[in-house]
Amino acid sequence: MIMSNISNSNTVLRIALLLIISLFSISAFAHDVVGELEDMSKGDKAILYLNLGYKHILPLGLDHILFVLSLFLFSADLKKVLWQSLAFTVAHSVTLGLAVYDVITISPNIVEPLIALSIMYVALENIFAKKLKASRIGIIFLFGLIHGLGFASVLNSLGLPKDAFLSSLIMFNVGVELGQVIVILAAFLLFGLWFGKKPYYRKYVVIPLSILIAAIALYWVIERTLL
């Protein structure tokens, strides 16, 4: 049993290290100036948008980081969290694509407070809910639709190359997903792996961190609504 746990831990560590190394390699070769698109090959454009999507989560997307972290906190079961993350990814992929293709258009003044509210909702659910319900997947999917509109506003401000529109959109979304996976793995390695099954995990990890996240999200709701 002990050897099995050690083996599982080593596997997770290897995966995390490989992801981090590969993503830093991508960043090293990616261009940061979107205005140079005309002079780039399609491969370079793909790397650029992969990098931009990843950076929109790490280090720039604190609100999205806190949302994903809130998903992890309720249950440190890596499999359950990844299923929730998948539902979130599918949802934000849908609205990201629709918004970029101008099928739907919603003002950031509406979307940004809603993103903050979604973070606060999940954090409060972590505090008050007694067990993880199947309905949470549907709620996460709904919130993913909202977050996708936030991603779209960023991507629209950057622009997409006409000769690689779809591939760049896909790579941006892949970059976002990689950023989310890194956040989940980091949370798992920092405290989920060691404390997730301890009897005090909820009292001393889940509830304090969720209270902090809810407070930050409430501040964002007020700031984004009134300012």
Distance CA 45, CA 166 (A): 11
Nearest to 119 by CA among 74, 70, 187: 70
pLDDT at residue 19 tops 80? no
Residue-wise pLDDT tens digits, 98-132: 998 889 989 999 999 999 999 999 999 999 998 87
Task: Report the percent of the chain where pLDDT is more than 90.
Answer: 44
Q: Which of 33-37, 77-81, 179-183 has the highest mean pLDDT?
A: 179-183
Which 3-state string (H, E, C) describes 79-142?
HHHHHHHHHHHHHHHHHHHHHHCCCCCCCHHHHHHHHHHHHHHHHHHHHHCCCCCCHHHHHHHH
Distance CA 86, CA 140 (A): 10
Nearest to 220 by CA among 101, 80, 118, 127: 118
More confident position, 29 or 146: 146
Distance CA 108, CA 91 (A): 18
Structure token pair of residue 184: 């989940």
Distance CA 47, CA 172 (A): 9
The answer to whether the CB of 118 falls within 8 A of the CB of 68 is no
The answer to whether the CB of 222 falls within 8 A of the CB of 116 is no
Using the structure block, give the residue that is written with the tokens 């790579």. 171
Residue-wise pLDDT tens digits, 51-71: 989 998 988 889 999 999 999
Using the structure block, give the residue that is written with the tokens 């399609």. 42
Using the structure block, give the residue that is written with the tokens 């949370």. 187
Distance CA 159, CA 195 (A): 43
CB atoms within 10 A of CB 17: 11
